[in-house]
Amino acid sequence: MRYLTSGESHGPQLTAIIEGLPAGMPLVDSDINEELSRRQKGHGRGRRMQIEKDTVNITSGVRHGYTLGSPVCLAVENNDWKHWTKIMGAEPLNEDELAEMKRVISRPRPGHADLNGALKYGHRDMRNVLERSSARETTVRVAAGSVAKKLLSLLGIKITSHVREIGGISADIKEYPPIDEMMKISEASPVRCLDENAGQKMMNLIDEAKQNGDSIGGIVEVIVEGMPPGVGSYVHYDRKLDAKLASAIVSINAFKGVEFGIGFQAARKPGSEVHDEIAWNETDGYYRKSNNLGGFEGGMTTGMPIVVRGVMKPIPTLYKPLQSVDIETKEPFTASIERSDSCAVPAAAVVAEHAVAWELASALMSQFYADRFETLLETVEMQRTYAREF
Ligand SMILES: Cc1cc2nc3c(=O)[nH]c(=O)nc-3n(C[C@H](O)[C@H](O)[C@H](O)COP(=O)(O)O)c2cc1C
Ligand SMILES: C=C(O[C@@H]1CC(C(=O)O)=C[C@@H](OP(=O)(O)O)[C@H]1O)C(=O)O
């Protein structure tokens, strides 16, 4: 399976085209809209989220609530577009407006794509860069990911996400509740934090950062239960499923790091405290007595829950901007200010969840390829039985 996205942040719409879905999979708008709405929530977001109410228009590949096996096109309109038609060049301008338009963005924001993107593509107006480098694009990544999440859920695979840390305040999770419970808590919490105390502190810190014209980042965690063992491969670098997940996480705007299970802690412990002992029983087949490695050995799923975390840096646009240089005059200036979030970690958790869902669904489809969804169901079930009895 693959997908492409297109669209500018303040253009008319965002689009994703998915190729390679099996035919006969149930899919309706609400499967996608519920996930889009989750991405829009979360303490710390700017005014844009009040303007948008992201809903999908499925324009191809689905009839009467079932996939056809043909490309699925998902379109999400930008409500904000109507305020930007002139700036985005969709309307002819009079002289005054033209003069106004000469206020091009020439002072790159440290930490955003502005300067690198401008010099790469030769844009003197950095709006040409920020329109596409904006995380607005994650809307349709979530749309595509929600189709993958639907496929996973029909195969009995559950996935959720939550916030582990914001601005250095860490959620103190002694024991994870069952995954259905985690889904509910993270949905209800304004920072998607499973620990209510830490959640409140995180919100206070976000408010403080906002008041100071600053921004903060954090750590999100994605948890998956029900993946059959043996998905992915050890035989080649580009077939290792943990590597694909790592790439998907780091591809999210502002994500700088990734870890599985106990992650970086593994560097500070002896092997006897890291590797998960293997056991077997009739109901579950092989299982691990612990899950320090977060569901992967040798680039393949172990059948244990997948636990993957991603690190998001603070948002680069600052209302108290950092020093930069004007690319026209080469004089030092403070960076330009665009309307901005002060913290988008809770939203980014939902994006990470969908990025992971996509990679897992895609791996299942390449390993158990099926033109018909029913065949996929049967083959995945066969793999589970085979693994249990192996
Ligand atoms: C959900 C989400 C919302 C974001 N909102 C903003 C924002 O309002 N302002 C901003 O400057 N960056 C925001 N970012 C981060 C930038 O998009 C990102 O830093 C930029 O594209 C540069 O890419 P890089 O940080 O991966 O190098 C957001 C990221 C995510 C995931
Ligand atoms: C629009 C979204 O996030 C945007 C991501 C973003 C950036 O620079 O990445 C900058 C802001 O854009 P705007 O200036 O239009 O408010 C965010 O709002 C979204 O998540 O849907």
Measured from the Cα of 80, ligand 2's closest atom is: 15
Ligand 1-lining residues (CB < 6 angstroms): 46, 112-113, 133-135, 138, 252-254, 315-317, 340-341, 344, 347-348, 351
Choose one of 9, 39, 55, 312 to mutate for the ligand 2 pocket test, by most ligand atoms within 8 angstroms of C-beta.
9
How are beta strands 306-312 and 218-225 bridged, if at all?
antiparallel
Both structure tokens of 182? 């985690």
CA dist 54 and 128 (Å) reads 23
Ligand 2 mean position to 261 CA, how many Å? 31
Task: Give residue limits of the domains in the chain.
Answer: 2-389
Q: What does each of the 390 residues of the chain score in pLDDT, given as a tens digit? A: 999 999 999 999 999 999 999 999 999 999 999 999 999 999 999 999 999 999 999 999 999 999 999 999 999 999 999 999 988 988 887 777 767 776 789 999 999 999 999 999 999 999 999 999 999 999 999 999 999 999 999 999 999 999 999 999 999 998 999 999 999 998 899 999 999 999 999 999 999 999 999 999 999 999 999 999 999 999 999 999 999 999 999 999 999 999 999 999 999 999 999 999 999 999 999 999 999 999 999 999 999 999 999 999 999 999 999 999 999 999 999 998 889 999 999 999 999 999 999 999 999 999 999 999 999 999 999 999 999 999
Measured from the Cα of 316, ligand 2's closest atom is: 8
pLDDT at 252: 98
Which value, in Å, is the radius of gyration of the alpha carbons in the chain? Answer: 22
CA dist 357 and 351 (Å) reads 10
2-389: CATH topology: Chorismate synthase, AroC fold (3.60.150)
User: How many other C-beta atoms can be found within 10 angstroms of the C-beta atom of residue 377?
Assistant: 18
Q: Ligand 2 pocket, 53 CB below 6 A? A: no
Q: What is the pTM of this model?
A: 0.97
DSSP assignment letter at 62: E
Map residue 186 onto helix, strand or coil: helix
Beta bridge partners of 73: 17, 60
pLDDT at 102: 62
Question: What residue ranges in the chain does DSSP mark as E strands?
Answer: 2-6, 13-19, 56-60, 62-63, 66-67, 72-77, 158-166, 169-170, 218-225, 255-260, 278-281, 285-288, 296-297, 300-301, 306-312, 323-325, 332-334
Q: What is the pLDDT of residues 97-155, one digit of tens each?
A: 767 776 789 999 999 999 999 999 999 999 999 999 999 999 999 999 999 999 999 99
Choose one of 131, 134, 253, 315 to mutate for the ligand 2 pocket test, by most ligand atoms within 8 angstroms of C-beta.
134
